[in-house]
Amino acid sequence: MNVRCCRCAISVEDGVSTRKAAAARRRRFRWLRWPVGAIAIVVLLHLLFPDAPPLHADAEGNILKNGDFEQRGGGVPGWTIEPKIAGQGKISIVTGKVHSGQGALELVPNNKNRPNGSGDGPLRVAEGFPAGSLRGKRLYLSAYMSAEGGATAIVGALVLRSKGMPILVEMRQDSSRPGFVHQQNELAVPDAGDIQILVVGCSIEGNSGAAYFDDVYVGTKPLQDSAEASVPQANPASPSAGGPLAATVEVDASREIRPIPPTLYGANVEWIWNANGLWDLERKEINPQAVRLSRDLGVTLLRFPGGVFANYYHWKDGIGPESSRKETEHTPGGPRSAQVFGTDEALSFAQQTGSHLMITVNALTGTPQEAAEWVRYVNGKNQPDRRVDYWEIGNELYVGNGNKKGMTPDEYASRFLDFARAMRAADPSIQLGAIADDNYGRTIPHAHADWAQRVLSKAGQQIDFLSVHNAYAPIIPGDTGSDVRTVYSAMLAAPALIRQSLDDVAAKIKRFAPPGRGSHIKIAVTEWGPLFQGTPKDRFVEHVQTLGSGLFVASTLKTFIESPQTGIANFFKLVDPLYAGWIGQRNGTFVPTGPYYAFEMFTRHFGKIAVSSSAQSPTYRSVSVGWVDAVQSVPYLDVVASRSNNGRTLYVLGINKNFDHPVRAKIELHGFQPAGKATAWTLNGSGIDANTGSRPVAVPGVKWGKQAEDSRNPHFDRGGPDEIKLTSAALKTAGESFEYTFPAHSVTSLEIGGRLR
């Protein structure tokens, strides 16, 4: 993401570059091309009556004119159907499949139906309203939705503004569950003068099956029979306020899941801006403090030269004497940096930190020959400690990059094979990665729904790992006004969606890869991590580095470890002078952040072999925030277990996602006899939004906005070295059956000595 001012420019990739982010937002909000009739009428009303009176609502508070679809005749009364999308399927009110009453909306797509983000969008109906009277209010959404035959039913509410980004919330239901499913969501309308129009729509994604909608509700008060907790709080059955929640945990040390791939503990390092400060310009060396922190962190695989910037990177610009290296653009027409941190510096940094390098070659503006020469340059020197085994071909080429259009899957597959032939000729033993656009929850539009299928089918014989970026959360492109607890609750629910996405990717590999290759191709999550917003004025832009983000990191690592086909993961990103680095900056000095400490729990206080574990605890329901779908039952306590290679140490790692209450767990160990020393390592802090005081560097002309704080226990503005701590204490109660209390908002690793039985 580019932050520019008149005298300088700072570029930070947040998983989506500035142009890519803008393009992604345009695709995501392209469904605002709602029926022209509805919007035209509402725009006219807004112009004629800028101070719109309160919207009319029925006795239950529903502002929709026909949300129960009981009115029939002449299409769908109260709702508008845009003529341009009417040919994409059939829209009608039916009586055979309803939740209540006599009617429900049915959408049946055909092979012309377009996905979100392409053309005029999917088959849909909509109602539009002047939204002036909704300023500063919270909208409550409720609907009964059903889908079948591979379709996805969607109910969305969109607030259009004259200046800022539109605000969107969605509820989605795929065809994995039969019958009607009740979904709820909320949208906080900013108290701003540019709020203009509210559009509510029902749509369907897919080219087969059908979607059904009934009892759709939008109003400024929640339905009486559907109020449900949307943020973590004490379970109603728990003890009195302040008391612990109850949970049970079982661990079987004799049931091995798999050896944990060391390559799951990777990170991203970019070449721009002196590698975001890794390179000390004055000393002409890699910053020793950054080396120490990276080594202590235990990173194993450093992805270079960095996401979108790899698509424009020509490696020969970054070798040779520093005085002879060119200053080059990060992306076409973007900021420029001197090429002081190139291939040799990256290899040296990896060597100093005890890690290895993973290189993403330029498959957009580069050539197969250029990539092959890079392989020879690195691996032809017969230096095993500087060798690069993992090579990724391109970054996110399924979307537009800079001034270039994205590729089709067939174009990419052909280009991948050209690169593979040239690079394997230089070194036949390297591991090659192809890219795929799969993501969780299907909330991110796909330009090519069959990308993974076609790439695997055409190029799978040469693919060793499939790279996806399906573990960012929560990503809020348009601020809905949600508070810290709602946003963090959604983020901490996201690992459930990430696991589902990884399972879907594994299924595609098994189904579409050539015979005999499905079990060979691994999943690589080459970018992932907490990510909120991307401009200085945003309320959550700096929340990447909080304790709550650390809990997300721990829960996501659990997901990777327990996903059998996931072999590589590189978090985004290692260092950053602004807000995205897990090694941040405080007063010009590199410092650890919440995600750093959570990651360190796994590299320093966790075993090498994952073993069976399960946990039963109270749950909460999250609402959809940003790109994260709603999740119905999120356990407050996540648990993952492992043991050492020699079987003499068992690790039980618990993540308590409750913001206010500890969780007291009864822990049962099987296949392991505790004996000797036991230690509890605990990562905790003063509050869910606590942080170590890292802040973006000062940029002339750039003013960073006031950051959101937890309404009950605010700590964001109190950031400092004592706000988040990693501590240890002797665990005296460890036995085959014992109890342990996991503190609120914490990550705890119980390190138990003993032997396998």
Write out pLDDT tens, residues 631-679. 889 999 999 999 999 999 999 999 999 999 999 999 999 999 999 899 9
pLDDT number for residue 39: 47
Mean pLDDT of 736-751: 97
Residue 624 CB partners (closer than 8 Å, separation 6+): 169, 170, 171, 172, 185, 443, 490, 630
Q: Which residues of 539-560 are buried (b: 16+ CB within 10 A; e: fewer)?
A: bbbbbbbbbbbbbbbbbbbbbb
Is residue 226 pLDDT above 60, yes or no? no
Q: For 385-432, what is each residue's pLDDT tens digit? A: 889 999 999 999 987 544 455 799 999 999 999 999 999 999 999 999
List the one residue out of 140, 130, 136, 76 whose CA is nearest residue 105. Answer: 76
Mean pLDDT of 356-376: 98
pLDDT number for residue 688: 98
Which amino acid appears at position 624 of this protein?
Answer: S
pLDDT number for residue 241: 52
Tell me, what DSSP letter sits at residue 10?
E
pLDDT number for residue 444: 57
- Positive or negative, the CA dihedral 331, 336, 341, 343 is positive
List the one residue out of 141, 156, 154 whose CA is nearest residue 223. Answer: 141
pLDDT number for residue 118: 59
Backbone angles phi, psi at 752, to 5 degrees: -115, 120
The rounded distance, in Å, linking the Cα atoms of 682 and 750 is: 9
Is residue 31 pLDDT above 60, yes or no? no
Q: Looking at per-residue confidence, does 101 or 8 come out higher?
A: 101
List the one residue out of 378, 54, 465 whose CA is nearest residue 221. Answer: 54
- Positive or negative, the CA dihedral 23, 25, 28, 34 is negative
Tell me the three state secondary structure of residue 196. Answer: strand
Question: Does 474 sit behind a cis peptide bond, omega within 30 degrees of 0 on the bond before it?
Answer: yes
pLDDT number for residue 400: 57
- List the Cα angle 738/743/746 in 5-degree steps: 115
The rounded distance, in Å, linking the Cα atoms of 486 and 187 is: 11
Q: Which of 15-29, 242-256, 554-568 has the least mean pLDDT?
A: 15-29
Q: Based on C-alpha coordinates, what's the Rg of the chain?
A: 26
The rounded distance, in Å, linking the Cα atoms of 507 and 535 is: 37
**What pTM does this model have?**
0.85
pLDDT number for residue 116: 66
Q: Looking at per-residue confidence, does 739 or 449 come out higher?
A: 739
Pairing of strands 285-286, 279-280: antiparallel
Q: Give how far the C-alpha of residue 392 lies from the chain's centroid of Cα atoms, to the nearest Å.
A: 20
Confidence grade of residue 614 (pLDDT, cut at 50, 70, 90): very high
Is residue 441 pLDDT above 70, yes or no? no
pLDDT number for residue 594: 98
Confidence grade of residue 255 (pLDDT, cut at 50, 70, 90): very high
